[in-house]
Structure 1
Amino acid sequence: MEVELKLLLAPEHNEQVQHHPLLGEPTRVQQLTARYFDTPDLHLLRHGAGLRVRKVDGEWIQTMKAGGSVQSGLHSRNEWEGVVDRSWPRLGKLRKLIGDDPQWLAVLDETNLKERLEPLFLVDVQRHIWDLEIDGNRIEVALDVGHIERKTQRVPVNEIELELKDGDPAGLYAFALQLLEDIPLRISNINKAQRGYQLVRDTGQAPFRARALELDADATLSDALPAVLGNCLEHIQRNEQAVIDSDDPETLHQMRVGVRRLRSAIKLFDPVAPCPPALQEDISWLGTVLGAARDWDVMLTSTLQHIDASPGGQHSLMELQSLAQQTAQAKRREAAQALLSPRYTKLMLTLGSWMLQTAPLLNGSAAQFSRQTLQQLHKSLLKRAARMNDSDPASAHRTRIAAKRGRYALEFFHALYRDKGTRTYLKALAAAQEELGQHNDLVVADRLLQELAQQHPPADGAIQFARGYLVAQQLMQPADLNAISSRLHALRLPHTR
């Protein structure tokens, strides 16, 4: 199993890396040219594998990487590697390296795979390598500078790979944090092969939604914590580049949801694995920055549209649209800058290290923990639902938060519960969250409009019109809090499998 931490840096910092006191002189420098192979229908990619042939010091090296996971930049994958006599894959030799692993042998047994393989893209880099031993860990540090090429398309490569040759994976995070003190770095959650496949598929940066989380029935807490937190981190980090590069509201929304899920997960595990306060503070900071940008997106793309549909509302909307657009864009830039900051990189590295070091210390059954936790969350939800009333808007907000926490918790542990009861429970909580969320959007919009009025006094008339219209709409179409409460009280927790 190959374990690597991948870090991005700007080319102007390459010389700083090469003369960093932690590294010394490079052990060796190599020019590496690799061709990546797959079928026209991307058979290997669809099965989670990558196959390359790379020339290293005059020899052709065939490598297949497959399966594994990525958590906070830490890539763990199966790897089979050996010398071949040509620049094209030798599948027979690869089968011998794989041995008796039926999953990956089946991938290679695809009909006519040998005949259908073709080179899809090329990776050409100059690699500076340092072999280090730090705190009992043997780490290979590689600085790769070059490009990925597909026909007429090229994308640059400028990254550091920290590969654990022997020792504790947490040592990679510790070393990266030391480098971060002197060099601006960013975590990379995709490898060169994945970047090459992006050129092949021309997929761009689509919003990434959370994947269903799988846990075995006999999973322990030490299994559950990294699985749950890792799932949240994937949700956050797979939307990271799109938030930086694009203005798609959905990618920002998905990243903010990922942070909310992470915060819920941290709180969920708090009784058995308290998160350090400094780490919680940084997670809260990230949520605040993304939340500010998302709130303006919602008002711009959703809430203000209600005014457009009203008699005489078009003129008011046109006056507000420009101001709201400018503010939303500014908040989006602030969010992008936060993701490019050393504070964000430090957060992700520290969180990854904390997960690795904390999980082995936990004892107990994940199923038992989830049952107790869900019972507590359900009880809290019913208590808050019973206290909702129209004269206290905060009461509906507290119920919405309780519903969200319960939904996230069951989504984390859904694999341990019976399907039918789980679907019913999650559907009911999502519906309650949606109804109460629409009410909350109007409350948030009113607050944002007040801020806008303070910043732009000449637009006060249009802003007050919008505020009045939204308040009237809220009064005319209030959420039926009694009905929502009744539905929640009728819910029954699902049973474990």
Structure 2
Amino acid sequence: MEVELKLLLAPEDNSKLLQHPLLDAPARVQQLNARYFDTPDLHLLRHGAGLRVRKEDGEWIQTMKAGGSVQSGLHSRNEWECVVDRSWPRLGKLRKLVGDDEQWLSMLDAPDLKDRLEPLFLVDVERQLWNVESDGNRIEVALDIGHIERKGHKVAVNEIELELKDGDPAGLYAFALQLLEDIPLRISNINKAQRGYMMVRATGHAPYRAQALELELDANMSDALPAVLGNCLEHIQRNEVAVVEGHDPETLHQMRIGVRRLRSALKLFAPIAPCPPALQEDINWLGAELGAARDWDVLLSSTLARVDSAHMELQALALQAAHAKRREAAQALLSPRYTRLMLTLGSWMLQTAPLLNGAAAQFSRQHLQHLHKSLVKRANRMHEDDPSSAHRTRIAAKRARYALEFFHSLYREKGTHKYLKTLAATQEELGKHNDLVVADRLLQELLLQHPDSAGVIQFARGYLQAQQATRPAGLDPIRKHLHALRLPHARH
């Protein structure tokens, strides 16, 4: 299993790495030219594998990487590598390396795979290598400078790979944090092969939504905590590039949901694994940065649509504010603070998980019962004259929903589906009410910034306030549904 941490840096900062006191002169400098192979229908990619043949020191090296995971920039993948006699894959040799692993043997035994393989893209980099001892860990440091090419189109590569040769994976985070003190760095959650495939498929940065998490029925908490937090981090980090480089509001929305899920998970685990205060503060900062941008997106795309004959002037002002907040969110993701947050969180997860005891099923049942009782109590206290009471119920529904989503594989499907569906409907109904409250606050901000537009802004505020008064959230039906709701039964 290959374990490495990938970091991006600007070309103008390469000299800072080359002169860094943690590194001596490069142990080796290599020119690496690799061709990546797959079928026209991307058979290997669809099975989670990548296959390349690369020339190193005069020899052709065949490598297949497959499976594994990425958490907070830490890539863990199966790797099979051998010398071949040509620049084209030798599948027979690869099958021998895979051995009796049925999953990957089955993939390699696809009909006519040998004849259907073709080179899809080229990775051409100069690699400078260092071997470093750091706190008892042996780490190979590589600086790769070059490009990925497909059909004459090129994208630049300028990145650091920290590969653990021996020791604790948390040592990669510690070493990266030391580099971050002197060099602006960003975590990379996609590798060169994935970037090449993006060129092949000509895909943009689509929104990445939370993936269903599967836990074994006998999973313990040392397994559950990194699985749950890793799932949240993947949700966050797979939307990073799209938020920085794109304009789709849904990518920012999904990243914000990822942060909310992460905060709910940390609160859920707090009794057995309290999050360090400084780390929690940084997570709250990230949530605030994304939340501010998302609030303006909602105002622009949804809430103002409720205003009959919404003035074009107001739409333009809201669009300007939304774009400004989006840029601020992007800058937050490009900041050293964000990189430090992700590195620190990854390190904390790795060091905390082995210390935990107890069954995940028992933990989840106990905490789901507590969250359910809290939700019903909040619902009982909702009142039309107190908007904050509905907001608290919405938060309680969100926490209970996320908790069950984290542990859903431990519970019977039918009851789980009904419970989650009811909580999602509760969140949506109360969320519409909360959107109006947030909209009024944002319109007041616009009023302070643009007093010359007071007329159209005050009209919109009055219209939305009247709509809120005449169409209050149906609190009684929500209460009724929550009272009738029962937690799903555990699988056995």
TM score, norm. by length of structure 1 = 0.98
Q: Tell me the equivalent position of 2:475.
A: 481
- Could you tell me which of 430, 449, 469 is aligned with 1:436? 430
Trace 1:272-421 onto structure 2 (pairs within 5 A).
272-307=272-307, 310=308, 313-314=309-310, 317-421=311-415
CA distance in 1 between partners of 2:86 and 2:128 (Å): 25
Tell me the percent identity.
79
CA distance in 2, matches of 1:194, 1:84: 24
Q: Which amino acid aligns with 2:287?
A: G
Alignment of 1:74-113 (within 5 A): 74-113=74-113
Question: Superposition pairs for residues 222-233 of structure 1, below 5 Å?
Answer: 222-233=222-233
Shift of 1:323: 1.0
Please identify, of 318-327 and 66-75, the stretch whose mean Cα deviation from structure 2 is larger: 318-327
SS at match of 1:413: helix
Extract unaligned runs of 5+ from structure 2. Answer: none
Q: Hey, what does 2:236 align to over in structure 1?
A: 236
- One-letter code of the match for 2:459? F
Q: Spell out the pairing of 1:46-85 with structure 2 (5 A cutoff).
A: 46-85=46-85
Please state whether the residue corresponding to 1:247 is helix, strand or coil: coil
- Taking the aligned partners of 1:22 and 1:351, their CA distance within structure 2 comes to 23
**Aligned-residue offset at 1:381:** 0.1
Q: SS of 2:37's equivalent? A: strand
Deviation string for 1:93-116 (max 9, x for gaps)? 001111111110000000000000
Instruction: Give the match for residue 138 of structure 1.
Output: 138
SS state at 1:478 partner: coil
Q: CA deviation at 1:133?
A: 1.2
Q: Which SS does the other structure have where 1:123 is aligned?
A: strand
Q: Distance in 1 between the 2:68 and 2:490 partners?
A: 27
Mapped to 1, the partners of 2:483 and 2:49 lie a distance apart of 47
Does the residue aligned with 2:129 lie in a helix, a strand or coil? strand
Kindly provide the amino acid, as one letter, of the partner of residue 289 in structure 1.
E
Q: Distance in 2 between matches of 1:152 and 1:332?
A: 33
RMSD of the TM alignment (CA)?
0.6
Amino acid paired to 1:220 = N
Alpha-carbon distance between aligned partners in 2 of 1:273 and 1:430, rounded to the nearest angstrom: 28
Find out whether 1:257 has 2:257 as its counterpart.
yes
1:297-332 Cα deviation digits (max 9, x unpaired): 00001101111xx2xx24xx2121111111111101
The CA distance in 2 between the partners of 1:99 and 1:450, in whole Å, is: 66
SS at structure 1 position matched to 2:31: strand
Residues 196-234 of structure 1 show CA distances to partners (whole Å, capped at 9, x for unaligned) of 000000111000001100100000100000000000000
- How far residue 455 of structure 1 moved from its aligned partner, in angstroms, is 1.3
2:446 to 444, 448, 452: 452
Q: Which residue of 2 aligns with 1:207?
A: 207
Which whole-Å CA distance do the structure 1 matches of 2:368 and 2:306 have between them? 37
Dislocated runs of 4+, deviation >2 Å: none
2:122 matched residue in structure 1: 122
- Counterpart Cα distance in 2 of 1:371 and 1:415: 12
1:490 aligns with 2:462: no
Residues of 1 paired with 2:152 and 2:303: CA distance? 44
TM-score by length of 2: 0.99
Alignment partner, residue 44 of structure 1: 44
Displacement after TM superposition at 1:389 (Å): 0.6
Task: Look up the match of 1:24.
Answer: 24
Amino acid at match of 2:208: F
Q: Which whole-Å CA distance do the structure 2 matches of 1:152 and 1:460 have between them?
A: 54
Rounded to whole Å, the distance in 2 between the matches of 1:50 and 1:296 is: 40
Match for 1:347: what amino acid? L
Q: Does 2:146 correspond to 1:152? A: no
- Please give the alpha-carbon distance, in whole angstroms, between the structure 2 residues aligned to 1:31 and 1:14: 17
SS at match of 2:215: coil
Instruction: Quote the Cα distance in structure 1 between the aligned partners of 2:456 and 2:134.
Output: 63
SS state at 2:149 partner: strand
Pair 1:270-2:264 in alignment: no
Q: Give the superposition deviation at 1:152.
A: 2.0
Residue correspondences, number: 491
Aligned partner letter, 2:454:
D
Letter in 1 for 2:426: A
Task: Give the aligned partner of residue 13 of structure 1.
Answer: 13
